[in-house]
Amino acid sequence: MNIINDIITDFFNCCNLPVMAVDIDFNEMCKVGYNPLLEKNIIKYDIYKDINFDSDDSLSLYLSYENDINFIIVSISRYNKYRGYFVIGPFKCKNDDNNSIPFKPNSCLEYLPSIILNISDSKFSKGMSNLKFNVHVKKAIRHIHENYTHFINLDNLCNDLSVNKSYFCKVFKKETGFTFSSFLNNYRVEKSKYLLEHSDLSLLDIAVSVGFNTQNYYSIVFKKYMDISPLEYRNTISNSNL
């Protein structure tokens, strides 16, 4: 719960938009930036009845109602869309004299899901380092942190840990919430984001430097976790610094 609260607090501080986290049954877990008027809009428009990811692979959903009342719903987890949701809003996309509801131009909307998911990835990654994992899981995570730039083979890792592969995969998924390959790829993507932001390296050089064999595969994995391509991410960062 503390991690979820930290995520929405950081998002609010960055974007100045009200945001709450709800579980899969839409029970409120925590919220920040709300006043009675903003909460009244959530009740008035009954937004939860419109949340439906069943036929969509996207991690976010845009809801718009009368009087220019808008919300963005983002899955808390990239890997399990039915774990719960971040509810961003209400906000307006047309700047008027009503200062009681925050304004965000349409040009910002496509980036808001990525921003909160980036914060989420960072918080969960840091939080995991403090958890009391099974000794094999802890050693595997340390191995990823120290060797993500190189080829990592799960069979060889299990042999080094002297643990049955099937047992290890089951325990790793149970304790981290991710498969081993998902955890590894997500960690590599997170490391590549720093290079996209702070270096002029080509996408191929970045891909290889964080452990991907090809630029194409790196781009596929990056978009899977970030909803945008590495190039789009780099351009977004560049434009925000102008």
The Cα–Cα gap between 238 and 242 comes to 7
- Which H or E run includes 86? strand 84-91
pLDDT digits (tens, 9 = 90+) for 71-121: 999 988 765 555 788 999 899 988 776 668 888 888 888 889 888 888 887
Query: Torsions phi, psi of 65, nearest 5?
Result: -130, 180
Reported pTM = 0.55
Closest CA to 69 of 45, 49, 51, 87: 45
Q: Which domains does the chain have, with CATH numbers?
A: 2-124 (3.30.450.240), 131-240 (1.10.10.60)
* Percent of the chain scoring above 70 in pLDDT: 87
* Percent of the chain scoring above 90 in pLDDT: 33
Query: Torsions phi, psi of 151, nearest 5?
Result: -65, 130
Residues of the chain with pLDDT under 70: 1, 54-57, 78-82, 97-99, 124-133, 238-242
